[in-house]
Amino acid sequence: MHLTLAHIGPRIAARAGSKDGFSQLTNLYLERSAPFARCNAEAFRNEQSFLEWIGKQQGRTTPVTSLLDSRGRQMNSEAFAAWLGKRRDDGAQHLVFAIGPADGWSDAARERAQLLLSLGPMTMAHSLARLVLAEQIYRATTILSGHPYHSGH
Q: What is the mean pLDDT of residues 112-137?
A: 95
Q: What is the pLDDT of residues 22-57, one digit of tens each?
A: 999 999 999 999 999 999 999 999 999 999 999 998
Total number of domains constituting the chain: 1
Which pLDDT score is estimated for 9? Answer: 86
pTM of the model: 0.90
Lowest mean pLDDT among 9-13, 31-35, 38-42, 74-78: 9-13
> Could you tell me if residue 6 is inside a domain?
yes
What is the mean predicted confidence (pLDDT) over 65-82? 96
Q: Looking at the domain assignment, is residue 103 inside a domain?
A: yes
C-alpha–C-alpha distance, residues 80 and 88, integer Å: 12
Report pLDDT for 16. 46
User: For residue 17, how many other CB atoms are within 10 A of its CB?
Assistant: 4
Specify whether the CB–CB gap between 8 and 47 falls below 8 A: yes
Residue 151 in any domain: the answer is: no
Q: What CATH code is carried by the domain that includes residue 121?
A: 3.40.1280.10
What letter represents residue 61's amino acid? T
Quick one: how far is CA 148 from the chain centroid?
Answer: 22
Instruction: Judge whether 60 lies within some domain.
Output: yes
Split at pLDDT 50, 70, 90, the class of 12 is low
Report pLDDT for 147.
84
Q: How far is 10 from 38, CA to CA, in rounded Å?
A: 23
Cα-only R_g, the chain: 15
Distance of alpha carbon 34 from alpha carbon 25, whole angstroms: 14
| Structural domain for 23, as ranges | 2-145
Per-residue model confidence (pLDDT) at position 19:
58
Give me the chain's average pLDDT, please: 91
Question: What is the mean pLDDT of the segment spanning 4-12?
Answer: 86
Does the pLDDT value for residue 68 go beyond 60? yes
**Is residue 7 over pLDDT 50?**
yes
pLDDT, average across residues 101-128 = 94
